[in-house]
Amino acid sequence: MTKSMRQRGIVTRHKILVGIILSCVVAGVTSCVGPPVATNMIPTLDPTAFRSTGKTVKVEVSEAETTIRGPASDRLRVTKAGFQEALFKTLDKSGMFGAIFTDGHGDYALRATIIAQQYLLRPVTALFFVHYELSDVHTPQVLWRENILSHYQTREPIDNAEGAARENLAQLLRKL
């Protein structure tokens, strides 16, 4: 093998490697990034900004039929389990309630239904729409309900999904 042939081989392998890396970036991280992480969905909180009710709350998250668009939608989708973990940790960190549960009973039940998730490519933006309902478990009375639509825009699609969920939870705390 001549020096010229070896150099062409190295150049070819280099081009293939660069092509693979660029494919991951251009494809919107379809196969290069895992799903959104719950801890990245938790808003920054000042615990002194919230007053504890002393009551306990059971947190439930469900999904309605969601609208998801974009080339990397399955990988960018905020899962029910991931959002429930983020909601649980957000409420716990806020100190609004004496205790938070995902099973069993509490004084209140906070139900969050993920209505829609949408990912737009130009500009790269994530939309996250959730219906919340707080009720007293001892009576069938709904104490509070709200639909919250949030969006987040940055260069990285995965950051957008986490950011839209984080902004949604921040709005929840401001309105609750």
Q: What is the pLDDT of residue 49?
A: 84
Q: What is the pLDDT of residue 30?
A: 41
- The candidate with the shortest Cα–Cα distance to 114, out of 176, 66, 172, is 66
Q: Which fold has domain 35-175?
A: Rossmann fold (3.40.50)
For helices 80-94 and 157-175, angle between their N-to-C axes, nearest 10 degrees: 50
Centroid of chain to Cα 50: 23
Q: What is the pLDDT of residue 20?
A: 38
Q: What is the pLDDT of residue 33?
A: 57
DSSP code of residue 103: S
Q: What is the pLDDT of residue 120?
A: 80
pLDDT in tens, the chain (176 residues): 565 555 555 544 444 433 433 333 334 444 445 678 999 999 998 877 888 889 999 999 999 865 554 455 667 789 999 999 999 999 999 999 999 999 878 899 999 999 988 888 777 888 999 999 999 999 979 999 999 999 999 877 778 889 999 999 999 999 99
Q: What is the pLDDT of residue 143?
A: 96
Strands (E), 47-166: 56-63, 99-101, 108-121, 124-136, 142-153
Domain layout of the chain by residue ranges: 1-32, 35-175
pTM, full prediction: 0.76
Centroid of chain to Cα 116: 12
